Amino acid sequence: MVEPTVIGTRNVIVAADEAKVHRVVFTSSIGAVYMNPNRSPDDIVDESCWSDQEFCKNTKNWYCYGKPVAEQAAWDKAKARGVDMVAVNPVLVLGPLLQPTLNASIIHILKYLTGSTKTYANSVQAYVHVRDVALAHILLFETPSASGRYLCAESVLHHGEVVEILAKYFPEYPIPTKCKDETKPRAKPYKFSNQKLKDLGLEFTPVKQCLYETVKSLQEKGHLPVQATQTDDQIRIQP
């Protein structure tokens, strides 16, 4: 997982330099940012944060190990070649699907709607709308003053909050109501800052709207049976 990511990243930066590309907008990940066991719950996760690579290796979290390694390789190569690069670090991306097939991010939500899982995890997850991620790339490409990294996130929710939102808008599905681990205190969302993207004019889509559009897309793509008990006109998504 790590080797092709790093080599591929370096190859793209070299190709961009050879083609005299004006600017490279590199898509990184929250996985390169927040995996750090020594971070205090009161600390704010922002663009200055990097995942602890040794921690990721020791816990065999190869995805979150590969992301900071690849991003750092991109920064190093861009600096060495004089390439103007900025990075976007999205959290879990949801919203309407372009492709007919499922991806890992969407399956994260689909499992709560099909009855394949009877409980939800005692953990938190950050979310962002796919359109906001796309717009972030455009803003960073078109804004000459943009520089460095940009955390692209709208909300951090406990999985219990996610299923509550899903159950509110789609009560016809067998959405779990019990936590997988109720013996431990409920995990608290971490604090984060998306101010750098807001300063560029990005207005994030509320996470409730994001979840709603995700499910509607799954229905339209045939991944969920449509058994609507409410019409779109009857539903008003509140931030």
CATH of 92-128+155-188+203-239, one of 2.60.98, 3.40.220, 3.40.1620, 3.90.25: 3.90.25
**Among 57, 60, 67, 198, which one carries the catalytic annotation?**
67
Q: How many CB atoms lie within 10 A of CB 150?
A: 26
Please give the pLDDT value at position 236.
Answer: 58
Residue labelled with tokens 């008990």: 229
Contacts of 207 (CB under 8 A, 6+ apart): 127, 154, 155, 157, 165
At 18-73, the pLDDT tens digits run 999 999 999 999 999 999 999 998 999 999 999 999 999 999 999 999 999 999 99
At 82-136, the pLDDT tens digits run 999 999 999 999 999 999 999 999 999 999 999 999 999 999 999 999 999 999 9
Token pair of 123, please? 């953990």
The values of phi and psi at residue 108, to 5°, are -55, -35
Q: Where are the domains of the chain?
A: 92-128+155-188+203-239
Q: Across all residues in the chain, what is the average pLDDT?
A: 93
Q: Clarify whether 191 is annotated catalytic.
A: no
At 148-186, the pLDDT tens digits run 999 999 999 999 999 999 999 999 999 999 999 888 999
Global pTM?
0.91
Q: CA of 156: how far to CAs of 43, 95, 125, 145, in Å?
A: 14, 16, 5, 28
Give me the sign of the Cα torsion angle 87, 2, 9, 127.
Answer: negative
d(CA 62, CA 6): 13
d(CA 7, CA 16): 14
Q: Does the pLDDT at position 232 exceed 90? A: no
Q: CA of 101: how far to CAs of 72, 107, 115, 219, in Å?
A: 31, 10, 19, 13
